[in-house]
């Protein structure tokens, strides 16, 4: 039995370009979908505006100003002992509108500089190609991923990135949390994943399945191109993994929970197996969805399967069977009385992480990579410039313990652990800065006021020791 983590286990952290870079219109960057999302909060959803309105605040325009602080931030990550750092490449820095033929050199240069800075400290960059930040031009002109043409634009973007950075970046992911849009009633989720703005009579579910199909094809094409450019590249998919438990041991609840998992995770089946699961094909027929899925698409899916499965893990869900087997995320979830939640209502379930690692291993038999995990919490900077975030340490400690059991006792093949928002950044769901995840505090409030100075929190020193001991001291 393996006693601990391998010596090459990738400890580190994760972020996404639009949530921290800021500089939203600098050096030729185009506007992305995130640039049109206002500040919200846990009770007030973020608004998606058509234009940038002067009386509204758009937190992603500033992020945590990483664009101007990245050297200092990378140094802090190196002080923590990071072996890997996950970020995304903002599509609009490379192709400002998305449909150009030639990339923007200034954008490419920024990521060269960032990756070089990471490599200087022996930190491996881990890169997501599309993380909720497609060019707004592709939304306005083409309808986002509801349009097949977007496949070619994405593939061109992916090609340029692989070509340019393959000697600096080994681990890639195509689409962040591609399966979040399972909740197709959520305007925000489908906009972030697919750049689709629903009209009143749209069949949201069908549009979502169609857009996801184009993304899956684009991903499979990208995988093939990446491997052709450099066979040593590891190109994965990225799923939001929330295990879905039955509310009781009633067989109907158990069966429904299984169907809910299958519905939420078929994206992974297609990425890994290269084809759709039967239950879904039969569901499309039952719904009489005349999906645009060509023979050529099916061939591309078959030939472009992923090397590993990356995922985020924050929480688990529970469902109760009522009268249908058609899982609808917006109405079928029920609270789980066995589990506490954080201040934003997200269930805290460390054991669910071990369950998830085992579930995916049994289903997909691929190396796994935890590329997000963590707890959003209110932090307080004390007068002596400290943050005593014991709650964050407790959350991460409990999750790392379960992860360790999965690796050591269950022999799950796990590449690394990159907790989310290792430095405070803008929340994707609410746009708040005060929903903080970081080991590093950034002095900025929800409206962009503050010095933007960086301060290590107590969790910084704790995590540094976890890494230094390769997970032996948690
Ligand atoms: C994931 C996303 O959904 O969760 C991140 O990939 C996001 O972009 C993270 O920030 C945490 O969610 P939130 O809404 O608290 O920022």
Told to judge if 394 belongs to the known catalytic residues of this protein, a careful annotator would answer: no
Mean pLDDT of the region 162-191: 97
In a domain, 447, yes or no: yes
In a domain, 3, yes or no: no
- Over residues 41-77, the pLDDT tens digits come to 999 999 999 999 999 999 999 999 999 999 999 999 9
Torsion of CA 414, 417, 418, 423, to 10 degrees: 180
Token pair, residue 42, equals: 């846990």
**Number of Cβ atoms within 10 Å of the Cβ of 201:** 5
In a domain, 1, yes or no: no
In a domain, 358, yes or no: yes
Phi, psi of 347 (to 5 degrees): -65, 135
Ligand 1: centre distance to CA 114 (Å) = 22
Residue 54 near residue 97 (C-beta atoms within 8 A): no
Which residue minimizes the CA distance to atom 4 of ligand 1?
428
In a domain, 418, yes or no: yes
CA distances 158 to 114, 163, 337, 396, Å, are 18, 8, 44, 33
- Relative to the CA of 314, which ligand 1 atom is closest? 4
pLDDT of residue 1: 57
pLDDT of residue 2: 60
In a domain, 108, yes or no: yes
Which CATH number belongs to the domain containing residue 393 in this structure?
Answer: 3.20.20.80
The rounded mean pLDDT for the chain is 98
**Interface predicted TM-score of the whole assembly (ipTM), two decimals:** 0.99
Q: Which of 133, 177, 192, 372 is catalytic?
A: 372
Whether residue 439 is predicted with pLDDT greater than 70 in this model: the reply is yes
Q: Number of structural domains, the chain?
A: 1
In a domain, 102, yes or no: yes
Q: If you search the block for the tokens 């496949």, which residue do you land on?
A: 151
Which domain range does residue 428 map to?
A: 10-468
Ligand 1: centre distance to CA 311 (Å) = 12
> What percent of the chain has pLDDT above 70?
100
Ligand 1: centre distance to CA 440 (Å) = 17
pLDDT of residue 384: 98
The ligand 1 site (C-beta within 6 Å) comprises 16, 19, 176-177, 240, 312, 372, 376, 420, 427-430, 435
């Amino acid at each position: 039995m393996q006693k601990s983590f391998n010596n090459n286990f990738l400890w580190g952290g994760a972020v996404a370009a639009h949530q921290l870079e800021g500089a939203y219109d600098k050096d030729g960057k185009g506007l992305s979908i995130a640039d049109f999302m206002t500040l919200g909060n846990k009770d007030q959803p973020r608004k998606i505006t058509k234009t940038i309105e002067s009386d509204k605040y758009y937190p992603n325009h500033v992020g945590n100003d990483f664009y101007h602080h990245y050297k200092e931030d990378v140094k802090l990550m190196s002080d923590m002992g990071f072996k890997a750092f996950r970020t995304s490449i903002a599509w609009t820095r490379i192709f400002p509108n998305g449909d150009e033929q030639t990339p923007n050199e200034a954008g490419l240069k920024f990521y060269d500089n960032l990756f070089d800075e990471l490599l200087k400290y022996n930190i491996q960059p881990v890169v997501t190609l599309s993380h909720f930040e497609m060019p707004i031009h592709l939304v306005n002109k083409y309808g986002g991923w509801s349009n097949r043409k977007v496949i070619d634009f994405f593939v061109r973007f992916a090609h340029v990135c692989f070509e340019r950075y393959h000697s600096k970046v080994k681990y890639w992911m195509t689409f962040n949390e591609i399966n979040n849009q399972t909740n197709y009633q959520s305007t925000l989720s489908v906009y972030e994943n697919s750049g689709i703005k629903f009209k009143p009579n749209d069949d949201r579910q069908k549009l979502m399945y169609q857009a996801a199909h184009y993304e899956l094809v684009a991903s499979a094409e990208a995988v093939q191109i990446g491997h052709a450019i450099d066979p040593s590249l590891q190109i994965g998919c990225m799923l939001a993994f929330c295990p879905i438990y039955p509310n009781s041991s009633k067989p109907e609840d158990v069966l429904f929970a299984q169907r809910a998992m299958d519905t939420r995770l078929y994206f992974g089946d297609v990425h890994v197996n290269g084809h759709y699961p039967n239950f879904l094909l039969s569901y499309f027929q039952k719904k009489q969805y005349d999906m645009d899925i060509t023979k050529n698409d099916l061939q591309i899916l078959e030939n472009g399967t992923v090397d590993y499965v990356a995922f985020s893990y924050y929480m688990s869900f529970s469902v109760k069977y009522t009268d249908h087997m058609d899982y609808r995320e917006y109405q079928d979830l029920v609270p789980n009385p066995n589990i506490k939640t954080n201040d934003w209502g997200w269930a805290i379930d460390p054991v669910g992480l071990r369950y998830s690692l085992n579930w995916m291993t049994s289903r997909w038999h691929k190396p796994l990579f935890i590329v997000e995990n963590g707890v959003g919490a209110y932090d307080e900077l004390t007068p002596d410039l400290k943050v005593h975030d014991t709650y964050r340490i407790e959350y991460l400690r409990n999750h790392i313990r379960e992860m360790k059991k999965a690796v050591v006792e269950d022999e799950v093949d796990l590449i690394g652990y990159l907790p989310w928002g290792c430095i405070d950044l803008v929340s994707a769901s609410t746009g708040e800065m005060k929903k903080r995840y970081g080991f590093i505090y950034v002095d900025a409030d929800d409206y962009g006021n503050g010095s933007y100075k960086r301060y290590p929190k107590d969790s910084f020193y704790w995590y540094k020791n976890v890494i230094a001991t390769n997970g032996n001291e948690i």
